[in-house]
Amino acid sequence: MSSNVSVTSSIINSPICGSLEPGSHSVQFYRNDEFLVDELSRLLGSALGSGDAAIIIATKAHREQVGKLMKARGLDIGVAARQGRYVCLDAAETLAKIVVGGWPDAGNFIRVIGEVIGGARAATLRAEAQVVAFGEMVALLCAEGKSEAAVQLEHLWNDLASIHSFSLRCAYPLNAFSRSGQAGSFEKICAAHSHVIPSERFTVLASEHERLRTISHLEQKAEALDAEVAERKKVELSLMRREAEFSDLLENAVMGVQQVGADQRIVWANRYLLALLGYSPQEYVGHLISEFHAKREIFDDFWQRLMDRQNIYDFPAELRCRDGSVKHVLIHSNGLWENGRFVRTRCFVRDVTEHRQMELALIQSEKLASVGRLAATVAHEINNPLASVMNLVYLARNEAPSPSSQNYLEEAQEELERIAHLTKQTLGFYRSEGAVAPMRLSSIVRSLAAMLSPKISNKRVRLMIEDDGDPEIFTTPGEIRQLFSNLLSNSLDAVGQGGTIRVRISEVHEWSNSGAPGMRVTIADSGCGIPAENRARLFEPFFTTKEEIGTGLGLWVCKRIVEKHQGTIRFRSDTRPGQSWTAVSVFLPQLGGGTSALGAAPLRAA
């Protein structure tokens, strides 16, 4: 409600509403304060002028404007007020005396308002005098959105009429009911009144003819509005449904979707993206997108492209997850521009972390394979000169020259054997025993134990070999001997004096290998264990922790032999001091008939 009311001399003529029937309870709707003030000044002025009482319960602005206008019309309201015939009350203050817990209280109302009416009547000093009241406490309640409380207050006024005789005018600004949803409370308010007076737009119409014409116009307008509202509701409903569908589609996309505003803050992100990165909506939406990019310079480049109005496809980036890990993603994105101004991005984010890891693993294994190929080639090329030199040294020794050159030749011979050992560790299993034959693994392991017995007894190592059922298995014995020779030698190197090595051979089904039947050999030692940082590199060629004596080829060769046999090799280890151990477990499937499967796939250098 505006409090700046300008009262002009061009007062609107109000032929039908300037007076009140005795005992009536009318409601006046209005558009302009100016009109209301004029209307009230006439209503209250005519009551005061004819010796009746007038009560105004209104906002300060309305009270002042009405008083001013009555004075301007020559009415001495000061005298009337002093006589008690003219009562001015503040609507908000009066309402506060009546309302309890947000609702008008009947007892309070009768006491407060009853007193005011009784007092005003008494002040007229005439038994037949009328009391004319204007109140807008109801309008205040309505403006606060408490239309139900307003209706209740209207009823209290009606109830008061059975105790006191008065005429009441209420007023509501029409804009208090500008929403279609308020039709119900509007109707209830009208029903609580004996007379309803439309706003100034219609009350100023002079003739019946004009009024009928206006009503017809209004009817047409209402009809059109009803139809339009219905149509809009339909459109709104279908829009809402579409929006729900789109949002459902985006939420359920198996791809990250997000919008980022011009301020680089995340406007919205779908469920997939949040789940991918592990954030709750509160932890992500509203934050700067750059916070989540692992590499600032990459983000800056990305943003610059967007600002250059590029459509970005498959842009590789790294996003930081809540747990600190990084996801490799590809981003499609472009900007939404309105009137040359950047509004927001639409980003589609694809997770390629797994793919990238596989790619890296592939590159790594390619690298290792080529290193392995190189090693094997070099080893082969060494064999011929080595064979020549070995023969030459042998012949020279047999020529029996001086004792000192005998010594030199002996040493040369030892060095040659070291080279021969190196090449054989990588290539030794390509030997004549390459043929597939049925073998018992326990007999291979036991013969190796016999071969290693000097070292075993030297270190006072307890070696236990257990087997529960050891059927023959088709293998290439030379390769299998090399495999277990390397593994047993490693265990022997790992255990200290008096350590333990336990070998267990059992017939099993390998469930991780589609339940294939075969043999498992587990070699467990009480050695120092394999430190976590070395575990990933165990099978790399030339990776060794035994710098003095290791070639770094033993386990690399083991892995290739196991792979050739379509088996698996796994390490488990514990490095806790005092309880450290390592167990290597080799599974070799029983290849039905064996010969063809292995025979057709001779082991190559890499």
If one asks whether residue 303 binds another protein (CB under 8 A), the answer comes out as: no
Per CB under 8 A, 18 contacts another protein: no
Task: Candidates 43-51, 53-61, 394-402, 508-516: pick the segment binding another protein (CB under 8 A).
Answer: 394-402
- 415 near another protein, rule: CB under 8 A: no
State the nearest-atom distance from the C-beta of 436 to another protein, in Å: 10
Does position 376 interact with another protein (CB under 8 A)? The reply is yes
Give Rg (Cα) of the chain: 51
Q: How far is CA 419 from CA 98, 386, 593, in A?
A: 110, 8, 38
394 binds another protein (CB under 8 A): yes
Q: Which residue lies nearer to another protein by CB, 281 or 602?
A: 602
Q: Does the protein bind another protein through residue 246 (CB under 8 A)?
A: no
Quick check: 589 and 517 in contact, CB under 8 A?
yes
88 and 116 in contact (C-beta within 8 Å)?
Answer: no
115 binds another protein (CB under 8 A): no
Select the span of 110-118, 155-163, 385-393, 443-451 touching another protein (CB under 8 A): 385-393
Q: What are phi and psi of 438, to 5 degrees?
A: -70, 135
Conformational region of residue 149, where left means phi above 0, alpha means psi within -120 to 50, and beta covers everything else:
alpha
- How far apart, in whole angstroms, are the C-alpha atoms of residue 90 and residue 181? 30
- Give one DSSP letter per residue of 537-548, joined into a string: TTTSTT--S-TT
Nearer to another protein, 337 or 394 (CB): 394
Say how far apart CA 37 and CA 7 lie, in whole Å.
8
387 is a contact residue toward another protein (CB under 8 A): yes
SS3 523: strand
Minimum distance from residue 599 beta carbon to another protein (Å) = 6
* Cα separation, 102 vs 87, whole angstroms: 26
Which one of the spans 98-106, 152-160, 249-257, 428-436 is the region binding another protein (CB under 8 A)? 428-436
Measured between alpha carbons, how far is residue 411 from residues 392, 402, 417, 589 in Å?
14, 15, 10, 45
CB of 478 to another protein, least distance (A): 10
Contact map string, positions 263 to 302, toward another protein, x by CB under 8 A = ----------------------------------------
Contact between 599 and another protein per CB under 8 A: yes
312-320 and 326-338 beta bridge pairing: antiparallel
Q: Is 434 in the site for another protein (CB under 8 A)?
A: yes
Binder of another protein out of 110, 205, 250, 386 (CB under 8 A):
386
The reply to whether 420 sits near another protein by the rule CB under 8 A is yes
Instruction: Pick the piece of the chain touching another protein (CB under 8 A) from 5-13, 282-290, 297-305, 596-604.
Output: 596-604
593 belongs to the binding site for another protein (CB under 8 A): no
Q: How many residues does the chain have?
A: 606
Contacting another protein (CB under 8 A), which of 22, 401, 496, 602? 602
DSSP 349: E
| Residue 550, token pair as written in the block | 């290791």
Residue among 319, 287, 279 nearest 302 (CA): 319
**Residue 440: CA atoms inside 13 Å, Cβ hemisphere, count?**
9
Contact residues: another protein, CB under 8 A = 376, 380, 383-384, 386-388, 390-392, 394-395, 398, 416-417, 420, 423-424, 427-428, 430-432, 434-435, 599, 602-605
